[in-house]
Structure 1
Amino acid sequence: MAQNTVEKTPVTMLGLGAMGTALGRTWLAAGHALTVWNRTPARAAALATEGAKVVDTAAEAVAANTLIVLCLLDDTSVDEVLAGTDLAGTDLAGTDLVNLTTSTPAQARARAEWARERGARYLDGGIMAVPPMIGVPETGGYVFYSGSRNLFERHQETLSVPAGTTYVGEDAGFAALHDVALLSAMYGMFAGAAHAFALIRKEDIDPAALAPLLADWLVAMAPAVHQTADQLRSGDYTKGVVSSLAMQVAGTPTFLSTAEQQGVSPELLSPYFELMRRLLAEGSGEEDLTGVIDLLVN
Structure 2
Amino acid sequence: MTTTPGEKTPVTLLGLGAMGTALARAWLAAGHPLTVWNRTPARAEPLAAEGAKVAGTAAEAVAASSLIVVCLLDDASVEETLAGTDLTGKDVVDLVTGTPAEARDRAAWAEERGARHLDGGIMAVPPMIGVPEAGGYVFYSGSRELFEEHEATLAVPAGTRYVGEDAGFAALHDVALLSAMYGMFAGVAHAFALIRREDIDPVAFAPLLGDWIGAMAGASVGQTARQLRSGDYTTGVVSNLAMQVAGTPTFMDTAAGQGVSPELLAPYFALMRRRLDVGSGEEDLTGLVDLLVHEG
Q: Once the two structures are superposed, what CA deviation does each residue of 1:176-213 show, in whole Å capped at 9, x if it has no partner?
A: 00000000000000000000011111111111111111
Per the alignment, residue 107 of structure 1 pairs with: 102
For 1:232, the equivalent position in structure 2 comes to 228
Rounded to whole Å, the distance in 2 between the matches of 1:5 and 1:282 is: 62
Q: CA RMSD in A?
A: 1.0
| Paired positions, count | 290
C-alpha distance in structure 2 between counterparts of 1:211 and 1:162, whole Å = 32
* C-alpha separation in 1, matches of 2:172 and 2:224: 19
For the residues of structure 2 that align with 1:212 and 1:40, how far apart are their CA atoms? 43
1:290 aligns with 2:280: no
- 1:77 is displaced (CA, Å) by 1.2
Scaled by the length of structure 2, the TM-score of the pair is 0.97
The answer as to 2:153 corresponding to 1:164 is: no
State the partner residue of 2:15.
Answer: 15
Q: Which runs of 4+ in 1 moved over 4 A?
A: none
Task: Provide structure 1 residue ranges, at least 5 long, that are not aligned to the other structure.
Answer: none
Q: Which residue pairs with 1:269 in the alignment? A: 265
Task: Give secondary structure in 1 for the equivalent of 2:284.
Answer: coil
Cα 1:132–1:146, aligned 2, differ >3 Å: closer, same or farther? same
Q: Which amino acid aligns with 2:44?
A: A
User: Which residue in 2 is equivalent to 1:123?
Assistant: 118
Alignment TM-score, normalising by the size of structure 1: 0.96
CA shift digits 1:129-163 (9 cap, x unpaired): 00000011111100000001111000000000000
Q: Per-residue CA shift, 1:81-138, capped at 9, x if unaligned?
A: 112xx22xx3x22100000000100000000000110110000000000000001111
Unpaired runs of 5+ in structure 2? none
1:19-49 deviations in Å (ceiling 9; x for gaps): 0000010000000000000011111111111
Question: Paired residue for 2:58?
Answer: 58
Report deviation, 1:5.
6.7
Structure 2 residue aligned with 1:211 = 206
Amino acid at match of 1:163: A
State the distance in 2 between where 1:78 and 1:44 align.
Answer: 18
Amino acid at match of 2:129: I
Aligned pairs for 1:120-199 within 5 A? 120-199=115-194
CA distance in 2, matches of 1:31, 1:44: 18
Kindly provide the amino acid, as one letter, of the partner of residue 121 in structure 2.
G
* Counterparts of 1:255 and 1:5, CA distance in 2: 63
Letter in 1 for 2:57: T
Q: Which residue in the other structure is 1:6 paired with?
A: 6
Moved more, 39-48 or 18-27: 39-48
Distance 1:44 1:93 in 2: 26
Distance 1:97 1:248 in 2: 49
Percent identity, aligned pairs only, is 78
SS in 1 for 2:119: strand
1:41 aligns with 2:41: yes
